[in-house]
A and B are shown apart, each in its own frame.
Chain A
């Protein structure tokens, strides 16, 4: 079965420290990979995507993600966390052969002042 895993329900990090939110996937073909963020009572907002090319992708608000094909991972990173980064983060995969999306279960990021 095709799947996306976000192994951590919650990640706590101190403000100013680097953060990582993990995502691994298991799909056939070459997937398109995305990260979205959801703030309370809001819809999801796009952060970044990997389709092809450079494995390190830079996105909105200082976030970046590294595509690792051998480990089938697409971890989200930021060098210095802000309290305002506290939100729910979703990793998503679009299957190569159809407009079908699989989302992870989400990771709640809490940045402590």
Chain B
């Protein structure tokens, strides 16, 4: 089944404890993105990648890192999480730049 998977689905952590949210797609898509969804703000793009080893900042990259060492994986790294990073995070992928994005199921992160 064609899909985007994210792990973990739920995570509660404390301020400053490094964490990684994994994202993997099995559709051989070139493009991948990370978003955060907050009430009243919609989705905001954190980082995106147009190919292996090619990443760039979205609208809200502060406090996040990404890497794209393999085509299928695009992990999101929070080196020192803070409470303002409490949010619902989505990974998405698309075959080409004009194509629709396929979204993962989301990761709900709480930083206390």
Instruction: Let me know if B40 and A105 touch, CB within 8 A.
Output: yes
What's the least CB distance linking A51 to chain B, in Å?
A: 5
A100-B106 CB under 8 A given contacts A46-B100, A105-B42: no
For the complex, what is the distance from the CA of A106 to the CA of B40, rounded to whole Å? 8
- With both beta carbons as reference points, the residue of chain A lying nearest to B41 in the complex is identified as A105
A102-B59 CB under 8 A given contacts A43-B90, A90-B43, A94-B97: yes
For the complex, what is the distance from the CA of A98 to the CA of B55, rounded to whole Å? 12
Instruction: Let me know if B48 and A100 touch, CB within 8 A.
Output: yes
From A51, A104, A105, name the one whose CB has the most chain B CB atoms within 10 angstroms.
A105
Interface of B is mostly: strand
CB < 8 Å neighbour of B101 from A46, A51, A104, A105: A46
Number of interface residues of B (CB under 8 A): 26
- A-B pairs with lowest CB-CB distance, top 4: A43-B103, A46-B100, A103-B43, A105-B42
Interface residues of B (CB under 8 A from A): 4, 31, 33, 35, 40-45, 48, 50, 56, 58-59, 90, 92, 97-98, 100-106
Interface residues of A (CB under 8 A from B): 6, 32, 34, 36, 41-46, 49, 51, 90, 92, 94, 98-106
Query: Can you list 15 A-B contacts (CB < 8 A)?
Result: A34-B100, A36-B101, A36-B103, A43-B92, A43-B104, A44-B43, A90-B42, A90-B43, A92-B43, A94-B97, A98-B56, A102-B45, A103-B42, A104-B42, A105-B42
List 9 additional A-B contacts (Cβ < 8 Å) besides A34-B100, A43-B92.
A6-B42, A36-B103, A41-B106, A44-B103, A51-B98, A94-B97, A100-B45, A100-B58, A106-B42
